[in-house]
Structure 1
Amino acid sequence: MQKRFKSRFLFCDRWLDRHSIVRNMEAFQDLIVIVLCFCLFAVMLMQLWGIFIALTQPLDYKLVTAKVLFVLILVELFRLLMVYLQEHSISVGVAVEVTIVSLLREVVVHGALEISEVKTAAICGLLFILGLLLLVCAKTPHMDCMSANTKFCPIVHTKSRERQNDLEFQYSRHYDENQPLA
């Protein structure tokens, strides 16, 4: 009796490979993120056009500042999507930066003097917590560096990376010596 591979499962009398399904789903997610990037880029261009139009008319500082901060938020969201495309994980630090800029935009748009004391205290508390979270994200090494494959981690010291490369070379040479030449 032949043993079934762990990476395969039986469904509707067919063998389906989970790895190919996951790979295809990740490719589809990447396509969705790329479409979102193009949409964000289009919205950024429309907002820049709106800023240009607002500057040609009588100047409303609150409106222009709100539009500029909104473009900065869109740029940060675009950067968040780029990090996702590169690493296939959401960068918490960039997400916190987007949240901080969004909060500051709301304060600028509504005016700090027009916001009630309770809302001001809540915004200050939230900004304090987000600042601490940003500090923790900056001090914490990335999760990819904690995995077994630390070859591409910028945090790993050079000597340990050289040692790992030497070990990989020894293992690859070991396999090459045992393989017959073609």
Structure 2
Amino acid sequence: MQNLPASSRWATWLNGNYVVRILELVQDLIVISLCIGLFSFMVMQLRGMFLSLLPPLNFPEVTSDILFLLILVELFRLLIIYLQEHRVSIGVAVEVSIVSVLREIIVRGVLDTPWTQVLASCSFLVVLGGLLVVRAWIPPTFDGIDPEQEVSRRHRIRFAHDIADIAERDTVKPPLD
């Protein structure tokens, strides 16, 4: 590698997995720092929630704090899944979105919210619910399974069989009478 020109060395280095591994490491460090920060924020939020349980009890504030903690827990779970599998879980992201919308509706109160916002929230929840249903039908795309490569492989095999069938038909000639 020492005898290669500088441009070839750069091309070899960039085409190798070095850059990808370094970028993945940096990305993992960023996600780990997000996990630590989110965990610290959850502890502070939990402390505030316990303080809000002291008399006089403000039920809407306690409910809001509990739902907010559930959102934080789901976000933390999303980050952990990313660290383990290096993918964003669509199901967990949709669940976080659903809980967030429901929290806003509960905290504001359905009767105090304008009907257009309630209608928009309901439409959004229907779409998110549809995403969860569709996501259940889609096969998982992790553990090294790339659906696009799998479909491409099937098409190549089918194409090879079709070519073989055509070649076989062309080579077999009907007997002459």
TM range (shorter): 0.7 to 0.9
The structural deviation recorded for 1:147 is 3.0
The structural deviation recorded for 1:118 is 0.9
1:132 aligned partner: 130
1:59 aligned partner: 57
The structural deviation recorded for 1:87 is 1.1
2:7 aligned partner: 10
Paired letter, 2:43: L
The structural deviation recorded for 1:144 is 2.6
Paired letter, 2:7: L
1:171 aligned partner: none
Question: Paired residue for 2:73, among 69, 72, 75?
Answer: 75
In terms of fraction of residues, the more strand-rich structure is 1
1:86 aligned partner: 84
Structure 1 Cα separation of the partners of residues 11 and 136 of structure 2: 47
The structural deviation recorded for 1:15 is 5.0
Flag the 1:134–1:13 CA change in 2: closer, same or farther, 3 A: closer
1:170 aligned partner: none
Flag the 1:13–1:130 CA change in 2: closer, same or farther, 3 A: closer
TM-score normalised to structure 2 length: 0.74
2:157 aligned partner: none
Structure 1 Cα separation of the partners of residues 129 and 10 of structure 2: 54
1:147 aligned partner: 146
Flag the 1:126–1:16 CA change in 2: closer, same or farther, 3 A: same
Structure 2 Cα separation of the partners of residues 14 and 101 of structure 1: 47
Q: How does 1:78-117 map to 2 (within 5 A)?
A: 78-117=76-115
The structural deviation recorded for 1:12 is 8.5
User: Which has the higher Rg, Structure 1 or Structure 2?
Assistant: 2
Paired letter, 1:144: F
Q: Highest relative contact order (Cα 8 Å, sep 6+), 1 or 2? A: 2
The structural deviation recorded for 1:108 is 0.9
The structural deviation recorded for 1:56 is 1.3
After the TM superposition, which parts of structure 1 deviate over 6 Å for at least 4 consecutive aligned residues?
11-14
The answer on 1:40 being equivalent to 2:33 is no
Structure 2 Cα separation of the partners of residues 84 and 61 of structure 1: 35
Size of the aligned set, in residue pairs, is 141
Q: Which runs of 5+ in 2 are unaligned?
A: 148-177
Conservation of the 8 A alpha-carbon contact between 2:42 and 2:72: yes
Structure 2 Cα separation of the partners of residues 141 and 92 of structure 1: 12
The structural deviation recorded for 1:90 is 0.7
Paired letter, 1:24: I
The structural deviation recorded for 1:16 is 2.0
The alignment yields a C-alpha RMSD, in angstroms, of 2.2
Structure 2 Cα separation of the partners of residues 22 and 14 of structure 1: 14
The structural deviation recorded for 1:10 is 3.0
2:18 aligned partner: 20
Conservation of the 8 A alpha-carbon contact between 1:103 and 1:123: yes
Q: How does 1:150-165 map to 2 (within 5 A)?
A: none
Structure 2 Cα separation of the partners of residues 13 and 113 of structure 1: 64
